[in-house]
């Protein structure tokens, strides 16, 4: 169980995340939705500790042998947390001129010295782990290609393989399909769901399309102006509740229309 307790992040006197509290049981697939600036990325970045909270706590009781206050971790324990709580991003964040294989091996850096990995020297165990991860994402045949020779969808699958070799218990995804076309978006979302189901890895993903969250997630959290405006099963999220999450009150409906867009929604699997 991951417990988020009264988590707050203030930037220049404005709360990007405002007193947010929720629990995520192990193995759940959660979609976080909300308009631009609602605080979705800030929330994920605090969970991964890329950003420090202004106040509040993050507690996790099933990733390490005992319950830990994630928000208080430092040094080696913090690096271990980042390993167990892997993250993928909209822009994939691969090293463009390195081979796919090496990019995935970089996921082992939390466990191994960095230099041998960057030189392409790695143990048989790491090599096996890497190949298996690439196979699961149907990317093993690209192992020796440079990352910058791949399509966006392929790059995201490599980024997910890199996250997998971290042997995470939690996978955070910040708009993982926002830069992809429909076909690749479907492949990537299917992969995340399969990893969630087969490995029991908790997946928490920011998603810009409501329909994607409906199609793939066990639970949807709607954020509005830093606060939680909805938290429930997809079936409980009515259109009028969804409109409230995306509403701004200034007459601007652009994002509502975009979030509801059926044409660009990822096809249901
Ligand atoms: N490093 C930062 N410095 C200052 N303000 C920030 C920083 N990061 C985020 N913010 C502000 O915090 C608020 C929430 O931003 P955040 O990126 O979390 O939103 P989001 O829901 O992920 O939006 P999007 O859908 O556009 O990705 C915004 O008002 C943003 O301008
Ligand atoms: Mg964001």
In a domain, 269, yes or no: no
List the structure tokens of 57: 């706590």
Pocket of ligand 1 (CB under 6 A): 11, 16, 34, 36-42
HSE on the CB side for 71, CA within 13 Å? 19
In a domain, 268, yes or no: no
Task: Tell me the pTM.
Answer: 0.93
242's enclosing H/E stretch is helix 239-246
Output the residue whose Cα is nearest ligand 1's atom 24.
36
Residues 44 and 87: beta-carbon distance below 8 Å = yes
Output the residue whose Cα is nearest ligand 1's atom 27.
36
Does residue 202 sit in helix, strand or coil? strand
Q: Number of structural domains, the chain?
A: 1
List the structure tokens of 152: 């966006």
* Residue range 40-97, pLDDT digits in tens: 999 999 999 999 999 999 999 988 888 999 999 999 889 899 999 999 999 999 999 9
17 strand-pairing partners: 9
Ligand 1 pocket test, pick from 42, 51, 177, 254 with the greatest ligand atom count within 8 Å of Cβ, gives: 42
* Residue range 125-170, pLDDT digits in tens: 999 999 999 999 999 999 999 999 999 999 999 999 999 999 999 9
Residues 213 and 173: beta-carbon distance below 8 Å = no
4's enclosing H/E stretch is strand 2-11
Instruction: State yes or no: pLDDT of 267 exceeds 70.
Output: no
Edge-to-edge strands, sheet with 2-11: 14-24, 2-11, 55-60, 68-69
Q: Which domain does 220 fall in, by range?
A: 2-260
Q: Domain with 203 in it: what CATH number?
A: 3.40.50.300
Q: Distance between alpha carbon 45 and the CA centroid of its chain, in Å?
A: 10
In a domain, 267, yes or no: no
């Amino acid at each position: 169980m991951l417990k988020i307790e009264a988590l707050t992040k203030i930037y220049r006197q404005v709360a990007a995340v405002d007193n947010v509290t929720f629990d995520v049981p192990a193995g759940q697939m959660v979609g976080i939705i909300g308009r631009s600036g609602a605080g979705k990325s800030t929330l994920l970045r605090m969970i991964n500790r890329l950003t420090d909270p202004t106040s509040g706590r993050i507690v996790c009781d099933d990733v390490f042998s005992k319950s830990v206050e994630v928000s208080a971790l430092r040094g080696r324990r913090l690096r271990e947390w980042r390993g167990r709580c892997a993250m993928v991003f909209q822009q994939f964040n691969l090293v463009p001129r390195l081979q796919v294989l090496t990019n995935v091996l970089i996921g082992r850096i939390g466990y191994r010295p960095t230099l041998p990995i960057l030189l392409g020297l790695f143990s048989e165990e790491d090599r096996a782990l890497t190949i298996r991860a690439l196979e699961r994402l149907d990317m093993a045949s690209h192992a020796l290609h440079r990352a910058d020779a791949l399509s966006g969808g392929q790059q995201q699958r490599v980024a997910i393989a890199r996250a997998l070799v971290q042997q995470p218990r939690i996978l955070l995804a910040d708009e993982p399909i926002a830069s992809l076309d429909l076909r690749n978006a479907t492949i990537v979302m299917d992969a995340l769901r399969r990893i969630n189901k087969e490995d029991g890895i908790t997946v928490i993903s920011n998603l810009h399309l409501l329909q994607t969250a409906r199609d793939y997630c066990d639970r949807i959290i709607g954020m509005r102006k830093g606060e939680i405006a909805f938290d429930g099963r997809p079936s409980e999220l009515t259109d009028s509740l969804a409109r409230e999450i995306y509403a701004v009150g200034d007459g601007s409906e652009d994002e509502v229309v975009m979030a509801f867009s059926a044409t660009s929604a990822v096809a249901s699997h």
